Structures are given as structure tokens and as C-alpha cells.
Structure 1
């Protein structure tokens, strides 16, 4: 599934922290606390946009570094590396049928894959440990860390305002605003496109013919219906396990990842792969038309908000 870079402060899939998911339904993005996913690939080579995104990210980091220094905190401006090659996953994200088929045969919608194959490492470009600030944070006491995080949040909000004009309180607020913007742009530009609407209707009819219940065939919704169906299964399992849910996390669409046995993970994953392949068989033409435009919109909106992680 399409995904945005995970937060630099929460990297390392299966790492030391309890795993959490941040779900952004508008873009069908999953951020797993402890996992730094690859950046969203561009739909077409756009050197100017890429340069501006990089410039914005470096400007923001420079401002954060100066701000933290003035407040007496050590902070090294750092921008995660930019990906230059295109993997099978990237091509799948952009709607290439052969790549999508390969990815879905291997990972389905990517929801239960980690439970069925817990020893498989996620493909990542960078993790929090790569940041020079990781070592700085590890040397702080709990009280110092709380003060550090509070000041870093304030400095990043200031930097984003200075570079982009956006007013954000913290990372959750930033992503909420970004997600809402993506949703509006997708609805305006893609859900009203006659060709995409026609292809989505054809895909929906095909899925219904295979026995699936697809109530909403708007392009931006149909694009993620299968992923959301299995993500809902994970959320239901999370609600019914013995782990207490954090109210603050829940307010931001986050939840503590449930403990699922490998056997159960494989059972759910087998179902997921079957649905994912049926979805692709019905949506081959739809994805080829929709996915590149979706990728361009994701990139465009990310640039509006600074072109990088909070």
C-alpha cells in the first residue's frame, strides 16, 4: 500500500517500543511506531519539486537547530536520505500491474503480513537510529527528555510556520491537517474525473460479482477498500485483547498493536492475499489510471507542509 515516511522519532520495526499504528484513511497510509518506511515515490520525475522539497526540509531543520541551541539543547539538523532507485514496491504504488501482482502475492494489502511473517524485516530506507539526535536523546533522563521533546515540538512548529506558513501545534496536528488536505484534493480532482468514475464503477461491479460488498465506489474510497477491511480486523483484535488502549492515542487514530499468533496471522494473511488479488484482477485498469495521480497529489500536499516528517 502507499505509505508516507514514518516519523524519525519512532523508527525500527519490531524495536524496543510497543508497536502502534497511525492510520490515515484518506491516503491509506499506515505508520507503525518503530518503523521508518520508504518515502512516497514520485509519479513522474520532477526535479524542481524534488529540489524544493529538499530545500524546505533542510530549511526547517536548520531553523530547528538554531532554535534548540538558543534554548540550551543539543540538536543536529538532519534530513533523512532521499531515495533514488525504484523498487518493485514503488512501481506497484504507481499502478504497474506486474509489480502490483508481485507485491500482493507476497504481502497482500500489507496488513497481516507482519503477523504471518514476524521474522521478515520491513524494507526501510532509514530508521531513528540513523539520526545523530538518537544518541543525544538516549543520554537524557526522563525529566530532561520531556523538556527536550516539548522544546523540539515548539521549535519545529515555529520552523514549519516560517517555511510554509502553516500553523501546526505538534506532529498529530500536522498530519491531521495534511490528511484533511489530501482528502479534499483527492475528492476535488479525482472523484469528479469522469474516466476514473467510470473505471471505478466497473471495478466495483466486478468485485460485487465476486461476492464482495463494496458500498462506496468513489475512486479515492475504492482505492483503499480492501486495505481498510483488513485494517479494521486488526483494530477489532486490538480492542478485544488484554492490552489497555491509550485514550490519547485513540484520539489521533492510533492504537496499541494486538498480539496475534503466527498461526492466526497466517490464517488472516491467506484471506488477505486472496482478496488483494481479486481486487487487483478487477481493478487493473483503475489502478493504472488512479495510482500515478494519487501519488502526485500525495507529493504535492506533502510539499505544502514542508516536504518531510514533523
Structure 2
């Protein structure tokens, strides 16, 4: 299974979200390099490594290095030609996950094997890992406050605060943006004219519409196969078991829909994604997250 959430893609992986208690008088540390570039993620990682060492555990400070820009990166910024190339192969990135899972894995910003802490964790027993994660969670909480001034109780609390801030920014800066509202309404008329369902014309709903439609189709198939957990939340996607031929057929339909959606949104997406990116950059800096 996997989840698709615009809010979640910029969160740190669970392994590195943790921390130690912090004193009330602690002040945020300096968060820029000599060049003026934000260095919060590296500072948080370094403080976590020191904290873990003091607690008797090994942890390697690690921030993934940026990879060369790809068509997917350009598409995420609203580049029409890049979006067309990506969608011509991947659609909305739903059935592509089962039609070509190897290609999906290659697109990841980093994998579990890239993290130098993976072999450290893998060498621990279940009981040791529980202790390790508890201490790591505390060390992250302390490091986050020391570097950013953010006060959180745990990794889960940090995610909830981040998600709340992101949703508020979405409503205010995307769904409340007059230009995007007008462009989304025009796009919706075009999409409906091509025979596709539109439940909401808000900018964020129009951006997610295609993915949500085909995710629902995928989950319906997986549910018939008994692969969907009871009580699964709406953002969880369960890949069904499909033959290569069947997966390709579903993907072909999705690609057509994704290209139709793109043509209808050729004015909307170049306006929407840069504004979304600015929100993500601002909140990532505020919470000390690295940019994936």
C-alpha cells in the first residue's frame, strides 16, 4: 500500500523524526550558512547524532543530497511540456505503480538503502529497536526546538502541526487565490465537457481530481481481491494483483484521462504548482525539513 498526500511528501522519513526533552529557556540556534543558505536540516541531524551518542546509541547525521532535475521535477513545477512527457508514460501515477513498479522506485528521492542508519537499525532486536526509536524521538524533539524554536511532543505531534499549517495555507493561499479560482473553474468546465466527473472546482480539488478518480478505481479492484484493510483511510492506496496486460490496459485509460486533464489545465497548472511550491518551501524551512 502507499499514500498520496501533498502534505506528506515533504515530511522527513519516520526513522529521522524523533528527539530528547528541551529546557524552557532554550533559544533557536543560527540556521544559515555563511552563504545565507538554510542549514536547518543538517543542524537538526547533527544535534540528533550528538544526543543519541550521549544516550548510548549510534546515529549518523544524514541529509539526502539533491539529485539532478528530472522531468518529474519539472512537471511538479508546472512545466507543460514536462508534464505532457510524464503523463504520456505515467498518467496520474496510479496504475503506473503496478504496471512498472521498478520505474516508480527509481523516481524516489532516496531509498531505505541510501540511509546510513538502515544497517544500524537492522542489527537491533525488536526490543532494542523500540528503545532506540523512543530515544531517537526524544532527540529529534530537542533538536527541532533548538534549531527552529518549534515545540512538539513527538514525531506524530510534529506531523499534525505541519499538516494543520499546510491545510491552512492551502485554503488561504490556493483555494483563496482569485486567479487560481478562476483558472480552476475554467479547467473544470473543460474537464466536464470531455465527460469526466468533477465533484469540486476548488483549485486543490482540481489538482487532485484525476489521481483521486483512478485511486478509487484501484482500491475498488483491490477490495474485490480482499487486499484492503478494514478502516483504511481515504489517502491509502492498495495496489491490486494484476497481470501485466491488465495493468497496461488500466494505465492506458489513465494516460488518456491525464492528457485530457492536462490540456484542460494548461493555464491552471503553471499558475498552481509554483504557488504550491512556495508554500512547501516556507513550511519546510519553518519545520527544518529537507527539500526532497
Structure 2 length normalisation: TM-score? 0.82
**What is the alpha-carbon distance in structure 1 between the residues aligned to residue 249 and residue 160 of structure 2?**
33
Instruction: Specify the SS of the correspondent of 1:259.
Output: coil
1:22 alignment counterpart: 3
1:13 alignment counterpart: none
Q: CA deviation at 1:104?
A: 0.3
Aligned in 2, Cα 1:251/1:214: closer, same or farther, shift over 3 Å? closer
**What is the alpha-carbon distance in structure 1 between the residues aligned to residue 170 and residue 34 of structure 2?**
23
Q: CA deviation at 1:30?
A: 10
1:51 to 21, 31, 37: 37
**What is the alpha-carbon distance in structure 2 between the residues aligned to residue 186 and residue 100 of structure 1?**
22
The answer to whether the 8 A contact 2:10-2:284 is kept is: no
1:86 alignment counterpart: 69
**What is the alpha-carbon distance in structure 2 between the residues aligned to residue 60 and residue 290 of structure 1?**
31
Q: CA deviation at 1:157?
A: 2.2
The answer to whether the 8 A contact 1:76-1:133 is kept is: yes
Q: Which runs of 5+ in 1 are unaligned?
A: 1-19, 34-46
2:269 alignment counterpart: 287
Structure 1 length normalisation: TM-score? 0.77
RMSD value, Cα: 2.9
Aligned in 2, Cα 1:246/1:163: closer, same or farther, shift over 3 Å? farther
Aligned in 2, Cα 1:246/1:164: closer, same or farther, shift over 3 Å? farther
**What is the alpha-carbon distance in structure 1 between the residues aligned to residue 101 and residue 51 of structure 2?**
40
Aligned in 2, Cα 1:214/1:60: closer, same or farther, shift over 3 Å? same
The answer to whether the 8 A contact 1:246-1:255 is kept is: no
Aligned in 2, Cα 1:169/1:246: closer, same or farther, shift over 3 Å? farther
2:88 alignment counterpart: 105
1:133 alignment counterpart: 117
1:194 alignment counterpart: 178
1:151 alignment counterpart: 135
The answer to whether the 8 A contact 1:115-1:261 is kept is: no
Aligned in 2, Cα 1:232/1:174: closer, same or farther, shift over 3 Å? farther
Aligned in 2, Cα 1:226/1:251: closer, same or farther, shift over 3 Å? closer
**What is the alpha-carbon distance in structure 1 between the residues aligned to residue 226 and residue 121 of structure 2?**
31
- Show the 5 A alignment for 1:106-255: 106-120=89-103, 121-243=105-227, 245=229, 250=232, 253-254=235-236
2:17 alignment counterpart: none
**What is the alpha-carbon distance in structure 2 between the residues aligned to residue 140 and residue 263 of structure 1?**
42
- Choose between structure 1 and 2 for higher RCO, CA contacts under 8 A separated by at least 6 residues: 2
- Show the 5 A alignment for 1:286-305: 286-305=268-287
**How many pairs align?**
271
1:262 alignment counterpart: 244
The answer to whether the 8 A contact 1:104-1:276 is kept is: yes
Q: CA deviation at 1:260?
A: 3.4
**What is the alpha-carbon distance in structure 2 between the residues aligned to residue 100 and residue 182 of structure 1?**
24
**What is the alpha-carbon distance in structure 1 between the residues aligned to residue 10 and residue 89 of structure 2?**
18
Q: How big is each residue's C-alpha offset from its partner over 1:135-179, in whole Å with a ceiling of 9 and x where there is no partner?
A: 211211221122112221221122223322333444444333323
2:290 alignment counterpart: 308
Bigger Rg over Cα: 2
Q: CA deviation at 1:256?
A: 5.6
Q: CA deviation at 1:86?
A: 2.4
